[in-house]
Amino acid sequence: MNDTPVSEPPREEPSGEATTEQMPPPRRLLRSTGDRVIAGVAGGLGRYFGIDPVVFRIGFALSLFFGGLGALAYLLLAVFVPTDGDPDRAQRLGARLRALGIWRGLGLVAIAIVAFFGLSALAAVAAFAVGLGWGVPVAIVIIAIGALLAIASLRGGARWLIPPAVAIAIGGGVAAASDLDVRGGIGEREYHPTTVRSIPADGYRLGAGRLVVDLRGLDWGKHRVLPLEVSLGVGQADVFVPKRVCVTGTTHAGVGESEVTGERNDGVDVDHTPAGSRSTPRLNIDASVDVGQLRVINSDTADVDRPGFGPGPFHEDTAPLRAAEARACGTG
C-alpha cells in the first residue's frame, strides 16, 4: 500500500459523478444468457434481485393458472429487456417494436381513450339536460359557444374550445332529435297491479332506469282487452303478461331494441306492430323507449328480475316466447 496521507473515504468525488453504489443511473436489468430456460428472464431477474431464479420460474408458471398475467409480464420482459451478451431474436424484435414507436402509439391511445371518456361524459350531461326538458337553454348554450368561437377566431382562435363544444352539441342534438324524455323520474320501478282500476290512466312512465310492469296478477278472464301505455326515457322496460294473453299494439324505440313476443328489432327509430289479431284476452300496448330496450314477455313463470330468455349477449333462444305468443293470438 502506498502511504498517501489521507485515503479518501469512498464518497463521491467533487466533480459530481458518483462512483459508488449510490447511483443516479439505476442498475440495468439484463436477461441472462447463461442461465436461461426459455429467454433468460427468470435468470436475469434472479441476478438483479439476488434471489434464486427458480423462485421467479415458479412464479411465472403458477401465474398461468391464475389468469396468465405472468405470461404477459414474461413476454414483455423477454422482448424489451436486453440480454447481457449478444442480442437474441427477442431483443431484436423489441428494438424494432420500439423503433416503430409502439410505446408512443400505446401512450397516445391511452390519452385518447381518457379524453374520449371525458368528452362522452360531457355529451351525456348535455343529453340528460335536454331530456329533463331544458332543451332550449342547452340550445342557447350551444349557440353561445359557437358564437364565442367565431368571435375568438378574430383574436387568435380558441381551438381548445372545439372538442367540448362538439361533445355538448352531439349530446344535445341526439337527445333533442330522439325526443328524449327523462322527466318521469329516475330509478327502478316495479308495478304489480292486481286490478284494472289501479292502472293509471296515462300509463306507466319513467325517466331513466328500469321499469317493470307485471300484469300477471290481473284477472284476465276470457275476454279482457287491456290498453296500456308505457313510456320510458332511458333504460329498460319489461312488461310481463301471462302466456295465454295475445299482444298487439305499437312499440317504439328511439335508439335501442324492442322485443315483443320473441320478435326482436333493433336499431334507430324502431317501430314494431305485432300482427293484429282479434283473439282475447289481449293486451293493446302503446310503448315507447327513447334510448334502451323494451320487452314484452309472454310467460306465466318468468321471474321479474331474470326472465330467462330474451336478447342478451348470447341471444338466447326466443322460440318459447314466440310459440307462446302464437298460441295465445291464435296464429298457430
Partner 1 sequence: MRNGLSIDILSLGAGAAIAVVGALVLLDSAGSLDLSLGWMAVALIGAVGAILALSGLTRQPKRHD
Partner 2 sequence: MTAAQQPLRRDTSRGWVAGVFAGLGARLGVDPLILRVGFVVVAVATGGVALLGYLVAWAAIPATEDQPAPLARLARIRRVRGDWRIALGVVLLTLSCLLAFRQLGLWWSDAIVWPLVAAAFGAVLLWGRSRPDAADREADAPAAASKPPVAPTAAAPQEPTEAPTSRIGDLYRGVFGILLVVGAGLLFLSSNHVFGGLRDAALTTVVVVVALALILAPFLWRLGRNLASERAERIRSQERAELAAHLHDSVLQTLALMQKRADDPREVAALARRQERELRDWLAGDGRRTTDDRFAASLRRAAEEIEDVHRVAIDVVMVGDCPLDERSEALLGAVREALVNAAKHAGDAGAIRVYAEVDENEIELFVRDRGPGFDLARVPLDRQGVRESIIGRMERAGGSAEIRSVPHGGTEVGLTVPRMAPEREGGAA
Which set of grid coordinates corresponds to residue 36? Answer: 436461461
Q: Which of partner 2, partner 1, none does 1 bind, CB closer than 5 to 8 A by kind?
A: none
Q: Which of partner 2, partner 1, none does 72 bind, CB closer than 5 to 8 A by kind?
A: partner 2
28 binds partner 2 (CB under 8 A): yes
List Cα–Cα distances, 141 to 64, 81, 94, 131, 155, in angstroms.
Answer: 54, 53, 50, 15, 21
283 binds partner 1 (CB under 8 A): no
- Where do the DSSP E strands lie in 194-319? 204-214, 225-241, 246-260, 263-272, 282-298
- Residues numbered 112 to 141 that lie near partner 2 (CB under 8 A) are 113-114
Q: Which of partner 2, partner 1, none does 62 bind, CB closer than 5 to 8 A by kind?
A: none
289 binds partner 1 (CB under 8 A): no
The one segment of 30-38, 93-101, 176-184, 220-228 that binds partner 1 by CB under 8 A: 176-184
Which set of grid coordinates corresponds to residue 149? Answer: 368561437
By CB atoms closer than 10 A (0-12, 13-18, 19+), residue 310 is buried
Furthest-apart CA pair in the chain: how many Å? Answer: 117
Site string for partner 1, 253-282 (x = CB under 8 A): -xx------------xx-------------
Contact 263, 270 (CB under 8 A): no
227 binds partner 1 (CB under 8 A): no
The one segment of 72-80, 87-95, 144-152, 303-311 that binds partner 1 by CB under 8 A: 144-152
Q: How many residues does the chain have?
A: 332
166 binds partner 1 (CB under 8 A): yes
Q: Which of partner 1, partner 2, none does 130 bind, CB closer than 5 to 8 A by kind?
A: partner 1
Q: Which of partner 1, partner 2, none does 158 bind, CB closer than 5 to 8 A by kind?
A: partner 1
Angle 102-131/135-153 helices, nearest 10 degrees?
130
